[in-house]
Amino acid sequence: MTADHINHFLLNFQAPVMSDAGRLAMPIFGFVLAFNLTRADALQSEIITRTMKRLLLFGLLATPFYGLLYRWVPVNIMFMLLLVTYLIYIFESNKKYKWPIFIFMFLVIGVFVEYLWFGITYCLAAWWFCKSPGLIRMLVWIASTSLLAVANINYWACAAIPLILLASRINLNFPRLRYVFYAYYPIHLALLLYVQRNFL
């Protein structure tokens, strides 16, 4: 992700390999989010609502830097992940009108987030696969990964698939740094904006 942003904002797309590598970021982040939301008590223990609050907070913090870098104010990736989390919340809930709400949020609000419906579909497919792994669900997840090419204009996102599958076979014990990756997003955008405005 950082390599992609450096190539975009500081190098004026002179190093395409950096952007290609950056295409792996969203599938990995989306899969990790989806996996974390498959915990059996996610809804009851308010994991989902806490996740939504964090995504909203850090998405808002990133918005001014993101907008100034792009010279307009697009909705950054945090809001796409927020929408995905909300859709999972609706799906898991017992709300009376959950399907009309789900469809509206997916079709209408999905127009305004980064990666559009393709990113949302990818994350939902990853969640579906993580919730109950199986061949059909894995194939749906893989197919949804290839659909990211519509947004990316290339298939580099598919390179994340073997990395994710390999990581699931490796048992590594890392301390949980709950807010580090959330905070990193607006901080790295702020640093890129500073460099762009002061050294280029």
Could you state, in order of their start, the residue ranges of all structural domains in the chain? 2-199
Looking from the CA of 18 toward its CB, the CA atoms found within 13 Å total 15
Does the structure show a pLDDT above 80 at 44? no
Kindly give the residue spans of alpha helices, DSSP state H, lying in 24-173.
25-36, 47-70, 77-92, 98-107, 116-131, 135-147, 149-152, 160-167
Closest CA to 194 of 21, 9, 57, 15: 9
pLDDT digits (tens, 9 = 90+) for 119-168: 999 999 999 999 999 999 999 999 999 999 999 999 999 999 999 999 87
Across 67-97, b (16+ Cβ under 10 Å) vs e yields bbbeeeeebbbbbbbbbbbbbbbbbbeeeee
SS3 call for 73:
coil
For residue 176, name the pLDDT band (cuts at 50, 70, 90).
Answer: low
Distance CA 200, CA 11 (A): 9
pLDDT of residue 19: 94
For residue 182, name the pLDDT band (cuts at 50, 70, 90).
Answer: very high
Which pTM was predicted? Answer: 0.94
pLDDT digits (tens, 9 = 90+) for 8-37: 999 999 999 999 999 999 999 999 999 999
Distance CA 10, CA 159 (A): 25
Distance CA 92, CA 72 (A): 35
DSSP, res 76: P
Distance CA 51, CA 59 (A): 12
For residue 200, name the pLDDT band (cuts at 50, 70, 90).
Answer: confident
Residue positions counted in the chain: 200
Distance CA 193, CA 172 (A): 35
